Chain A
Amino acid sequence: MKELLRVSDLCRKNILKKISFSVGEGEMVAVMGPSGSGKSTLLYNVSGMDQADSGEVWLGDREIVGMSEDDRARLRLTRMGFVFQQMNMLANLNLLDNILLPSVHAEKSRAFRAQQTEKARGLMERFGIGDLSERKITEVSGGQLQRACICRSLMLSPQILFADEPTGALNQTASEEVLQAFLQIHEEGTAILMVTHDSRVAAKCERILYILDGELRSELQLGRYSAEKSGAREQSAAEWLNRMGW
């Protein structure tokens, strides 16, 4: 598998201590660890949302740590997608406009906008929220809102999707819907780096990284996901996490 993201000796204050790992093209990787271990901080620093103190992060041929804030923002806009635990959207826009927000800022031409609107409607349809495009964000459920956030993250066809506890604020049914959406995206070849507390969610990934006190302690290779083997994967993940002291 060709390497897409490479992280070397990444440090941030006393939270991340020389972390190194990589993510391959189209690979789905989970980051786990107890609260305060530095999982979210790792995600923010790898994606350039936060400025690391030292180390290197390469996304393809672009090094992120040394970039200016504007360059990092541009890279996030064009090559990365984000899904957060809190479904952050602009309260004054409807669902469709919120999904279109990054695309509208990436390119302002009318033709592009029309094309992106089509794409957004397609994505909403695909993730089961096609009839909610004109709704306000306060008029839809948490699961629907999170799926809308996933649609937004896919608008500019990112190479990698960063997700921070995407199911953390959802009930079980909504979690399952969102997880299915992630698996679909993964199937289509988009790499995913996901921070999660849920071992069942992590078991759907190809690899799990375990972080403790800002250091990468271990990793578990699970291989490509298939629904038939999901029970065995969940068990093996749970056992491994037990050994890690989870």
Chain B
Amino acid sequence: MKKRLIWNDCRENKPVTAAVVIFMTLSAALMGLSVLLFGSLLNSIDKLMETAETPDFLQMHSGEIDRGAIERFAALQPDVDRMQIAEFLNLENGKLSLGGQTLADSTQDNGLCVQNEQFDFLIDLEEKRIRVSPGEVYVPVCYRSEYGTQIGDSFRMDTQELTVAGFLRDSQMNSMMASSKRFLVHEQDYARMKPLGSEEALIEFKLKDGADRNAFSTAYGDAGLPANGPTITWPLIRLMNALSDGMMILIVLLVSVVILAVSILCIRTILLTGLEKDKREIGMMKAVGMARRDIRSLYYSKFLILSGIGALLGMGIVFLISGPLCRQMQELYGRPDHPVRIWLLSVTGTLAVVGMILLSVRRTLRVTERMTAVEALYGTGRWGKKKNRYLFAAAVTAAATALILIPQNIASTLSSPRFVTYMGIGSSQIRIDVRQTEQIDAVTEELLADLEKDSRTEGAVAMETRSYRAALEDGREYSLLIENGDHGRYPVSYREGSWPTGEDEIALSVLNASELGLRTGDTLTVRLNQAEAGETVRCRVCGIYSDITNGGKTAKACFSHPGTVGPPMWSVLYVTLKEGNKPADWTARYQEHAREYGAGIRVTDISQYVGATYGQTILRIRKAAMLATAVSCLVLAAVVLLFVRLTVWQERNDCSLKKALGFLSSEIRQQYLKRSLAYILAGTAAGVFLGLVPGQKLAGLLLGSLGASGFHFIIDPVRVFLILPAVTVTVAVLAARISLNEVDRIRASECCIGRE
């Protein structure tokens, strides 16, 4: 009988039943999808890092290496399990082509390497260590789709040529956010190609289980071993791997949490309205002696069945759309090794969401206990306080608008050229890196003079980075990469304070500031030479900025003389062009010209750099933004449709009376539409505010994981203030208008003779 009762109830209230199923399905699907994507991503990355035996600590170094000193250091460290020095042959992108396509535009440091012997292995798509034969090359898997490379294509380096034998997964450098890419070749070919590029060393350590990576990193730094390049640890590699897809998943998770909250509220309102309608029937059931539990169970069973349907549909959706969403992820990191476990986890996530909704239904059903049989039978009591339904529709409009705006704003922020200033890159149009060349300071000076003479440039500054040591108050020494130059000309974004303007000022990257425990206004003593008792300068920390370049540990100063710490490790020139000059054209031409100064010079159009580095992330976020927009519009339409219908149902008698008095259906509809529109507009305005202010804080937390702190949205005003609000208002108004067709079905006589 219960089955029949539920079936008949669902049949009689099709729109309401459909709305409940939609809410449950969406909540279940989104949560299931977030869990599945997160699980797959982390599992694939962990599996890849395990198969590849990713190093725990990695020091990049260009220049001479005292192999003996490093081996002696390793032998003394109890935590070191294995160590190796891998070589990376940095090639000039302009001389490279893959399947006939030049890599000149690539913003990555592309180079060759051979398979390692002890750990940090390069893995093929079958998840096995690659054995490469002479004449063959394995290409980073991310280039397969980017350049449409196929097995058998040729890989040309200047005059030399190799055949692409397959694709490789590199646990360290798979992500486009890692700035280097390794091509795997045979030892013979590597030796043959050596004259084509400059060599860089990767000093790698595999530590014993449970070893403290930070302590090891400090010990390495303190030992004065080669450190002319970024330092990278295992967690940073894992983070870099997880970020581009992780951002998309975080957005899906955010959407799923909001949709769950909206669903719980909507289902509660649907339930309360249903109980109000069934008050007499509930009274009768109470009167004839049905226990409270049995009455609750009648309603609960219906939701239990609907939630089952919702969970199944949700899982079906996850099954359908997880494939395309996971494909790119699996291409980069491989298939997860516990797919069943991940699916189970996803199903658990789905069931947890449905469980939460059912828990809320259970709680809501307790209101049936508030009234005695008599109060319910004669309609003298209410289940709860009467709530303004329009206010709720306005709140859902606000939530939907904010959900649409936040991912859109994140995408527009990441796409903006200004975003790089949150990453430690100056706000210019072009950046010229001078590395791996003799006489970096002399070359930099010449380039600067050359740029100043160029009629197309508007301005240029040069920054030289040298390795200094800071004397800490507790007597420890701390090695510090300081970038010296005019930082006010093309400033990065400062989370606190500002750039250094005097000899005694220093700005620190967030990572350095937190490691040193310093804030703006504190002081730091910097040694200007190698000797411990030599000249020092006491600097006030004038600003803290976020930086993900060079391992994230940098500092900025404007010393008039850099001291005697040695030649610069690298230098960067920032350039802006006069109006009418396209950065891409200028960059291509200047790259050719810069060859005269040596091979280690790279000219980058910053907007192109952003595209290449964050392109995949932006693409994923755009996908997530589209999903968020679709889901938000669907939920908004369902909620408005439902609530207008419930309101009309509740005010049916008034509508009938108005009709009896001579009002037209269209006039009554218009009254409702005007009232709805006022709330929808208010909700949209609130949504824009939520999307911009708390949304920015939330996005800041997400982007903080990218290393961008102190972040502000860079918005597209037309989109944010006009197009997207217009979308939500249109969806809501259309839904309200469709729902108001119900008014046509109300008869004028109903108020006098009741409804048949």
Listed in ascending order, the chain A residues whose CB lies under 8 Å from chain B are 44, 47, 49-51, 69-70, 73-78, 80-82, 84, 86, 88-93, 97, 100-102, 104-105, 138, 152-153
Contact = CB atoms under 8 A, between A and B. Distances in A.
Contact of A100 (B1, B8, B372): B1
Contacts, number: 85
B288 A70 contact: no
A70 B292 CA distance: 7
B291 A105 contact: yes
B291 A73 contact: yes
Contact of B288 (A69, A91, A101): A101
Interface in B1-15: 1, 4-5, 8-9, 12
B281 interface: yes
A84 B287 contact: yes
A35 B289 CA distance: 27
A97 B292 contact: no
A49 B282 CA distance: 12
B1 A93 contact: yes
B373 A101 contact: no
B280 interface: yes
Given A69-B369, A73-B292, A76-B288, 15 more contacts: A49-B286, A49-B377, A50-B372, A73-B289, A73-B290, A76-B287, A76-B289, A88-B377, A91-B12, A97-B4, A97-B5, A101-B288, A101-B290, A102-B288, A104-B1
A49 B287 contact: yes
B5 A93 contact: yes
Given A49-B372, A50-B373, A105-B294, A92 B5 contact: yes
B372 A82 contact: no
28 contacts: A44-B372, A44-B374, A49-B373, A49-B374, A50-B374, A69-B369, A70-B291, A73-B286, A73-B289, A73-B290, A75-B289, A76-B288, A77-B289, A82-B287, A84-B377, A86-B280, A86-B377, A88-B284, A88-B377, A90-B285, A91-B281, A92-B5, A93-B1, A100-B1, A101-B285, A105-B291, A105-B294, A152-B288
B691 to A, nearest CB: 43
B117 interface: no
B372 A51 contact: yes
A136 B372 CA distance: 27
Interface residues on B, range: 20 to 34
A88 B281 contact: yes
Nearest to A100: B1
Nearest to A102: B288
Contacts of B4: 92-93, 97
Contacts of A75: 289
Given A44-B373, A138-B756, A89 B290 contact: no
B725 interface: no
Contacts of A105: 290-291, 294
Interface of B: 1, 4-5, 8-9, 12, 280-281, 283-294, 369, 372-374, 377, 756
A108 to B, nearest CB: 10
Contacts of A90: 5, 281, 284-285
B283 A88 contact: yes
Given A88-B281, A88-B283, A92-B12, A82 B288 contact: yes
Nearest to A158: B289
A88 B279 CA distance: 11
Contacts of B374: 44, 49-50
**Which one of A70, A81, A82, A153 has the highest number of Cβ atoms from chain B below 10 Å of its Cβ?**
A82
Nearest to A138: B756
Contacts of A76: 287-289
Contacts of B369: 69
Contacts of B293: 70
B369 to A, nearest CB: 8
A58 to B, nearest CB: 18
Contacts of A86: 280, 377
Contacts of A81: 288
Contacts of B287: 47, 49, 76, 82, 84, 88
A78 B289 CA distance: 8
Contacts of B291: 70, 73-74, 77, 105
Nearest to A78: B289
A102 B1 CA distance: 11
Nearest to B277: A91
A105 B290 CA distance: 7
A97 B288 CA distance: 14
Contacts of B286: 49, 73
B268 to A, nearest CB: 22
A143 to B, nearest CB: 18
A61 B4 CA distance: 38
A93 B285 CA distance: 13
**Which one of A70, A75, A91, A153 has the highest number of Cβ atoms from chain B below 10 Å of its Cβ?**
A91
A102 B298 CA distance: 13
A105 B297 CA distance: 11
B290 A77 contact: yes
B300 to A, nearest CB: 14
**Which one of B4, B369, B373 has the highest number of Cβ atoms from chain A below 10 Å of its Cβ?**
B373
Contacts of B280: 86, 88
A93 B8 contact: yes
B288 A77 contact: yes
A101 B289 CA distance: 10
A49 B294 CA distance: 16
A74 B285 CA distance: 12
Contacts of B372: 44, 49-51
Nearest to A156: B289
A73 to B, nearest CB: 5
A91 B4 CA distance: 12
A12 to B, nearest CB: 10
A76 to B, nearest CB: 3
A98 B286 CA distance: 14
A138 B12 CA distance: 14
Contact of B8 (A44, A77, A92): A92
A84 B376 CA distance: 13
Contacts of B9: 92
B8 to A, nearest CB: 4
**Which one of B369, B372, B756 has the highest number of Cβ atoms from chain A below 10 Å of its Cβ?**
B372
B281 A69 contact: no
A47 B287 CA distance: 9
A54 to B, nearest CB: 17
**Which one of B281, B283, B285, B290 has the highest number of Cβ atoms from chain A below 10 Å of its Cβ?**
B290
**Which one of A70, A73, A74, A152 has the highest number of Cβ atoms from chain B below 10 Å of its Cβ?**
A73
Nearest to A80: B289
* Cβ-closest 10 pairs across A and B: A77-B289, A76-B289, A88-B284, A92-B8, A49-B373, A44-B374, A50-B374, A102-B288, A92-B9, A73-B289
A102 B295 CA distance: 11
Given A50-B373, A84-B377, A89 B288 contact: no
Contacts of A70: 291-293
A189 B146 CA distance: 91
Contacts of B12: 91-92
A38 to B, nearest CB: 13
Contacts of B373: 44, 49-50
B419 to A, nearest CB: 58
Contacts of B285: 90, 101
Contacts of B294: 105
Contacts of A89: 281, 284
Contacts of A102: 288-290
Contacts of A80: 289
Contacts of B377: 49, 84, 86, 88
A89 B5 CA distance: 12
Contacts of A93: 1, 4-5, 8
Contacts of B288: 76-77, 81-82, 101-102, 152-153
Nearest to A49: B373
A74 B289 contact: yes
B99 to A, nearest CB: 67
Nearest to A50: B374
